[in-house]
Amino acid sequence: MIEHVYRRAAAARGVAGVVVATDDARIVRAVELFGGAVVMTRADHVSGTDRIAEVAAGLSCDLVVNVQGDEPLLAPEAIEEAVAPLAADAGIRMGTLGGALGEDDAANPHVVKAVVDQQGFALYFSRSPIPYRRDPSAPRQSVYRHIGLYVYRRDFLLELASLRPTPLERAESLEQLRALEHGHRIRVVETAYLSASVDTPEDLERVRRLVAGGRLT
């Protein structure tokens, strides 16, 4: 699965290089076997943000994209969409993706929900159903299924990793809440390129069926 994610990330236009950051020797071996670049990091990181910050500290790039290894269906075009706002506006320091939220997704704690303001910046992320719909017939607007990809300005990534984990971050186990709790904005880009993260054995079997059916190339 990590090879699929690696190659799809490398196919995105404008990506200068792809590096796998891990503390697991098995992943290091797997990446080396297919010829990918990999860095062994410390094992005490509390989130992926902190882990990639360790690697980013040795890079000279402006933007860093965090593609999580459990997103084998992520389209290269989705990465390009996430990067675009930061490439166009130097005032945006962090971005992510949001897609259509299915009716069955709202109550699923493995599906993270994102609600945004009128300018497309995140108000909150949660594993719980948000926002509360007092009128069930009201249209669901400004709420998305969060897709696990982040774009950071390198200096902001290092700043964010230097901050202590926050109460909501710990409660929801969502690393992006650290940025919101410290008053930083996150641009949420709406995308039609939906992914399917592998969080459970059932998710893995679903992705395997998609691979067998030719959906993943």
> For the chain, what is the domain count?
1
Q: Is residue 217 in some structural domain? A: no
Interval 9-26: pLDDT, tens:
999 999 999 999 999 999
Which residue range forms the structural domain that includes residue 40? 2-212
pLDDT for res 196: 64
If one compares 178 and 74, the residue with the highest pLDDT of the two is: 178
The answer on pLDDT for 129 being more than 50 is: yes
Average pLDDT over residues 184-209: 79
Q: Whole-structure pTM over 0.85, yes or no?
A: yes
Residue 197 pLDDT class (50, 70, 90 cuts)? low
CA distances from 17 to 1, 134, 157, 217 (A): 19, 47, 17, 20
* Structural domain includes residue 56: yes
Per the prediction, the chain carries an average pLDDT of 90
Answer yes or no: is pLDDT of 204 > 70: no
Distance CA 21, CA 183 (A): 27
* pLDDT above 90 as % of the chain: 71
Is the Cα dihedral 105, 171, 197, 75 positive or negative? positive
Question: 158: number of CA atoms within 13 Å, CB side?
Answer: 12
Q: Looking at residue 151, which CATH number applies to its domain? A: 3.90.550.10
Whether residue 217 is predicted with pLDDT greater than 50 in this model: the reply is no
Could you report the per-residue pLDDT of 107-119, keeping only the tens digit for each?
Answer: 899 899 999 999 9
Query: Picking from 111-115, 128-132, 171-175, 176-180, which range would have the lowest pLDDT averaged per residue?
Result: 128-132
Q: How confident is the model at residue 210 (pLDDT cuts 50, 70, 90)?
A: low
How does pLDDT run across 32-46, given as a tens digit for each residue?
999 999 999 999 999
Taking residues 115-140, report their average pLDDT.
88
3-state SS string for the chain: CHHHHHHHHHCCCCCCCCCEEECCHHHHHHHHHCCCCEEECCCCCCCHHHHHHHHHCCCCCCEEEEECCCCCCCCHHHHHHHHHHHHHCCCCCEEEEEECCCCCCCCCCCCCEEEECCCCEEEEEECCCCCCCCCCCCCCCCEEEEEEEEEEEHHHHHHHHCCCCCHHHHHHCCCCHHHHHCCCCCEEEECCCCCCCCCCHHHHHHHHHHHHCCCCC
